[in-house]
Every structure is written in structure tokens, then in C-alpha cells.
């Protein structure tokens, strides 16, 4: 449908352009026909486009261009009726080409090419103007905020057709971890209470599926006060040794570190050595105390400080002393003087010498093997090691009492001496070896005396 205002102008199309006043021209009995079919044109905003309108032959008729969306007459014949510098006209005796450069979004719509015939004829073309995503509001490349505040990352764009904006992390990690969210849609990415783990690069992508998508990257930095960890709160060492104390911290921006002892800051010296090691987001801080003395057993403080806060931790250094282990010794057993014999199995209580040191207990006929065992003595009062070597030192030929001295060598004790009393018992001529409790020694005695005795009780 042709707008009413345009119908008022159509009679003017029969006026020919000349150097003087307008004159009537003869109308051809055969009106022209459109030879250029109606067409749709799609163009990106900012480029140039030409709308064509062609007929067989004008024969005194004229072509006019009209923008239907705004009901604006753009040209009649070879003359433009608009002051827009972006429009130009190229017309001859059978066509009129309307050029727009550069094309803007407001140029989108229907364009009518009219021919002043009776009745009026026309041809329509649709101009589609695509608008690539163009950022109108953006947070920028870098955003720095303090932990715990609310932050909005903005990526708002103008586009036609309307575009979809999505957000992702550049490192492919989830944006939110609880619940896990990998992609967010919308022009704004909102953090209600931003945390240090939100630090990273965020990519917004604006795509209208008609033009090339637009992407922008915003680096979000979350600052926070130092957090401190101690290797051990209690560290023990011996005097005279070197010891290393350690702590580590995490902070953004990175913290400055120092150690103090007794309210005095520590610096590198012959006594102290300071060292820092970067470990990913953490920094490990080491303090080595050389040649620890009695005055070094005290409290040491590790400090971490940055513009947002301060943290410290205390380590106590204590002394480890040598442990004195008391080794239980075998009790000293009384050894009778030579000649004071213990009673034999057949000796009665009445026949015991008045000077004997082993009075019979209970049955006078009981074996004296137990009493003999009590007379076995280690000269050093130290129990020999199971391993080692034994050596025979001497042997008595006394009829009733045979004293045998042995010497033991081992890794635990350089030399251990053992004196064993050989006591009569069992039967005539049989000797009882009173060392049943010491198995290794028994085997040695049996081996050394297997030729000199006929039985072993």
C-alpha cells in the first residue's frame, strides 16, 4: 500500500526536468515495464550497497525511490530529495540506482521504486542490515577486587540479529565449583562474594549466528591477606648442631616475609641463614640456625605481610639431651673361700662344717645343684652377649671343688670373665655343672670337658 502523502506527489513525476520552467511532455501510449525483479539485499553495517530499479524504456516517464519505513521520498528522476550525504543516485533513460554508503542499522527496511504510470506501478526491495556484535559496555581487560566483595563482569553488545553472550574461564576450569557451573549466559557475570579461587581470566563471547562472533577477555584478580602455615610448632635438636625452621604462606599480592626472635628481626649472618622458595601460589620461608647454643633454645616468629593484612606463627626450639640408659646388672654372688665346700648329697646337716656358707634348706638329701648355680658369677657383673667366643683360662684339680675360669669376647663387651664352680652330685665321680641357666656356657663347658668327665648331671 502506497502512503497517502506519496499519492499527492505522483502527478509531479510527469514534469520534465529542464533549464527553464517546467513543461508538459507527451506520454507514450506504451508504458514501460520493470525488467529488474524485486530482490532482497543483505549487507553488513558499515559497508556500501546499491538498490537497482530498471525498466524497458521510460518514454518520458520517471522513476522515484521511496523508503517505506519512514515514508520518505529519496529521489525523483535524476534528482535526490534527501540531504543525507550517505545517499547517491545514478539514473539514466531506463534505470535508477540508489547507493547507500556506509549502510547503518536505521537504513533497514522496504524500499519502493515507483513508476508514474496510470495506474501507478512499482517494484519493492528489502534491505537487511546485519550488525556485527559491537561492545557497548565492557568491564575491561583487568579487574582487581578484594576478597569477599560483590563484583560484576560486564560484556554488553549491540548486534542484529540479537546476539547471545556466554562466559567461560580461559583455563577451562569451572566458573563455580559448588554447584559446578562451566558456562554462564548473559551480559553480566555476577560474583556475590568473590573468593580467591575465582582469580583467573574470563572470556565473554557474543554471537548472533549471522556475523563473526566477538570475544573479549577480562582478567579478574582477587586480593587477600596472607595465610600462614608452620612446618612444625615444636622443633627439637641437640646443642652444637644446625637446625632449619620453615613456614609457608599464600597471599595476593605476594607477601613480604621475615623472622624474629625475642622481638628482634633476623637478618643473614654467620648465625642465621634466610631463604625463600616459590611453590606455585605458596612461598616457603626457611630459617637455618647454625651451631645451636643454649641461648638459641627459644621462640622464633615467622611473619608474612602484604597491603591487605598480616599473619604470623611461632615455632619453639627445644634441646634434645642424651638419654642415660641404666643397664640392669647381675647381682654379685658370694663365692666361698677355697676349702669351704658345700655339702654333698650324702652329707647330713649335722656334719656341715661350722664355717659353711651354704646351709642345707629342707631335706638334707636334696641336690645342691641349685646352691651351685648361685655361685656362678660374672666377674664384670655384665651378662655376656649370645654371640662371641669363649676361652678357657684355668682349671683347679681339687677333688671336691673344681673352679673353671672362662673369658668371653663379643662386640658389646670387649672382655667378660666367668668363674664356674664344679660341684659333686648325682653319683660317684660325676660332676654337676651349675650353669643350666646359661645355655651357651653349658655347651662350651661340655665341649671342653667331654674328655675329662664320664657323665654330666
Per-residue pLDDT of 173-225, as tens digits, reads 999 998 999 999 999 999 999 999 999 999 999 999 989 999 999 999 999 99
Contact assessment for residue 100 and residue 82, using Cβ atoms and an 8 Å cutoff: no
- Using one digit for the tens of pLDDT, what is the confidence trace for 268-307? 999 999 999 998 789 999 999 999 999 999 999 999 999 9
For residue 29, name the pLDDT band (cuts at 50, 70, 90).
Answer: low
For residue 325, name the pLDDT band (cuts at 50, 70, 90).
Answer: low
Q: What is the pLDDT of residue 50?
A: 93
Contact assessment for residue 123 and residue 36, using Cβ atoms and an 8 Å cutoff: yes
Q: Give me the residue spans of the domains in the chain.
A: 4-130, 139-224, 231-319, 367-449
171-200 burial, b for 16+ CB within 10 Å, e for fewer? eeeebeeeeeeeebeebebebeebebebbe
Cell numbers at 437, concatenated: 641357666
Is CATH 2.60.40.10 the right assignment for the domain spanning 139-224?
Answer: yes
Taking all residues of the chain, what is their mean pLDDT, rounded to a whole number? 76
Q: Is the pLDDT of residue 11 over 60?
A: no
Residue 439 or residue 52, greater confidence? 52
Query: For 231-319, which CATH class?
Result: mainly beta
Distances, alpha carbon 454 to alpha carbons 31, 404, 432, 448, in Å = 159, 17, 11, 13
Helix (H) or strand (E) holding 257: strand 256-261
Q: What is the pLDDT of residue 82?
A: 86
Q: What is the pLDDT of residue 432?
A: 40
Q: Is the pLDDT of residue 239 over 60?
A: yes
Identical fold between 4-130 and 231-319:
yes
Is CATH 2.60.40.10 the right assignment for the domain spanning 4-130?
Answer: yes
| Least confident among 52-61, 285-294, 348-357, 418-427 | 348-357
Cell numbers at 48, concatenated: 556500501
Provide mean pLDDT across the span 310-329.
84
Q: What is the pLDDT of residue 453?
A: 43
Q: What is the pLDDT of residue 3?
A: 42
Amino acid at each position: 500500500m502506497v502512503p497517502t502523502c506519496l499519492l499527492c506527489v505522483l502527478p509531479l513525476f510527469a514534469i520534465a526536468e529542464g533549464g527553464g520552467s517546467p513543461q508538459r511532455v507527451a506520454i507514450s501510449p506504451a508504458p514501460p515495464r520493470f525488467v529488474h525483479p524485486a530482490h532482497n539485499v543483505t549487507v553488513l553495517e558499515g559497508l556500501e550497497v546499491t538498490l537497482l530499479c530498471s525498466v524497458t524504456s521510460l518514454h518520458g516517464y520517471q522513476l522515484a525511490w521511496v523508503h517505506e519505513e519512514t515514508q520518505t521520498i529519496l529521489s525523483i528522476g535524476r534528482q535526490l530529495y534527501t540531504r543525507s550525504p550517505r545517499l547517491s543516485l545514478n539514473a539514466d533513460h531506463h534505470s535508477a540506482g540508489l547507493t547507500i554508503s556506509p549502510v547503518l542499522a536505521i537504513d533497514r527496511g522496504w524500499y519502493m521504486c515507483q513508476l508514474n504510470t496510470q495506474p501507478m506501478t512499482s517494484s519493492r526491495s528489502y534491505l537487511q542490515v546485519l550488525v556485527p556484535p559491537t561492545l557497548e559496555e565492557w568491564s575491561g581487560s583487568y579487574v582487581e577486587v578484594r576478597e569477599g566483595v560483590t563484583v560484576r563482569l560486564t560484556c554488553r553488545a549491540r548486534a542484529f540479529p540479537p546476539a547471545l553472550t556466554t562466559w567461560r574461564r580461559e583455563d577451562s576450569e569451572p566458573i563455580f565449583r559448588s554447584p559446578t557451573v562451566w558456562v554462564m549466559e548473559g551480559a553480566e557475570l555476577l560474583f556475590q562474594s568473590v573468593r580467591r579461587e575465582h582469580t583467573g581470566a574470563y572470556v565473554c563471547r557474543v554471537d548472533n549466528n549471522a556475523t563473526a562472533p566477538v570475544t573479549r577477555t577480562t582478567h579478574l584478580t582477587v586480593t587477600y591477606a596472607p595465610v600462614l602455615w608452620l612446618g612444625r610448632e615444636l622443633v627439637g635438636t641437640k646443642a652444637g648442631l644446625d637446625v632449619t625452621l620453615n613456614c609457608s604462606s599464600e597471599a595476593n599480592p605476594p607477601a613480604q616475609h621475615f623472622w624474629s626472635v625475642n622481638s628482634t628481626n633476623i637478618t643473614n649472618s654467620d648465625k642465621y641463614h634466610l631463604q625463600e622458595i616459590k611453590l606455585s601460589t605458596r612461598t616457603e620461608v626457611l630459617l637455618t640456625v647454625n651451631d645451636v647454643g643454649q641461648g638459641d633454645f627459644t621462640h622464633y616468629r615467622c611473619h608474612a605481610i602484604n597491603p591487605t593484612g598480616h599473619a604470623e606463627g611461632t615455632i619453639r626450639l627445644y634441646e634434645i639431651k642424651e638419654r642415660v640408659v641404666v643397664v640392669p646388672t647381675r647381682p654379685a654372688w658370694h663365692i666361698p673361700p677355697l676349702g669351704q665346700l658345700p655339702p654333698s648329697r650324702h652329707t647330713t646337716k649335722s656334719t656341715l662344717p661350722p664355717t659353711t656358707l651354704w646351709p642345707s634348706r629342707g631335706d638334707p638329701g636334696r641336690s645342691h645343684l641349685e646352691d651351685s648355680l648361685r655361685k656362678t658369677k660374672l666377674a664384670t657383673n655384665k651378662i655376656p652377649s649370645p654371640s662371641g667366643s669363649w676361652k678357657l683360662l684355668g682349671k683347679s684339680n681339687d677333688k671336691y671343688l673344681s673352679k673353671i675360669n672362662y673369658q668371653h669376647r663379643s662386640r658389646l663387651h670387649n672382655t667378660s670373665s666367668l668363674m664356674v664352680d664344679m660341684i659333686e652330685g648325682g653319683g660317684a665321680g660325676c660332676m654337676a655343672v651349675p650353669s643350666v641357666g646359661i645355655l651357651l656356657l653349658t655347651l662350651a663347658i661340655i665341649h671342653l670337658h667331654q674328655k675329662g668327665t664320664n657323665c654330666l648331671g
